[in-house]
Copies of this chain bind each other. A is one copy, B any other.
C-alpha cells in the first residue's frame, strides 16, 4: 500500500541508495504495520539546484544534501504512530551517506483503502 517517492541528490552509490531504500521500508514495517512484502518505491536523483530547501526552518539549519521522502498510504494512523515512523526513519537512516538526518524531510499523504490497485486491474483492499 504505501507508495514512497524518494527524492535524492545525485552522486549516491547504488549501495547507498539500496541501503536507504531498505531502511525507509523497514521503518514502515516496524512502526506503522506495513506488510514486509508491501514495498513500492520510486527513487529519483536530482541536481542540487532542483531540490530547493529553506536554509533554516523551525530551528533546523539545512546546508547539506537533502532527501525528501513522500509517502502515500492509507488513512487512519494516529499521530503517535506517525511520530514513531519519522523517528525510526531518522534513527535508522544509513550513516555512511552524506545526508544528515537534519536534512531528511518527510511528508505523508493519506488516501482511502479502495484507492489502490496492485496489479491485474483489481482493487485488492476494497471491501476489506
Contact = CB atoms under 8 A, between A and B. Distances in A.
Given A87-B121, A102-B119, A107 B3 contact: yes
Copies of this protein in the assembly total 3
A107 B49 contact: no
A120 B54 contact: no
A19 interface: no
Nearest to A50: B43
A105 B89 contact: no
Contact of A122 (B86, B107, B108): B86
Given A68-B40, A111-B108, A101 B116 contact: no
Contacts of A122: 83, 86-87
Contacts of A23: none
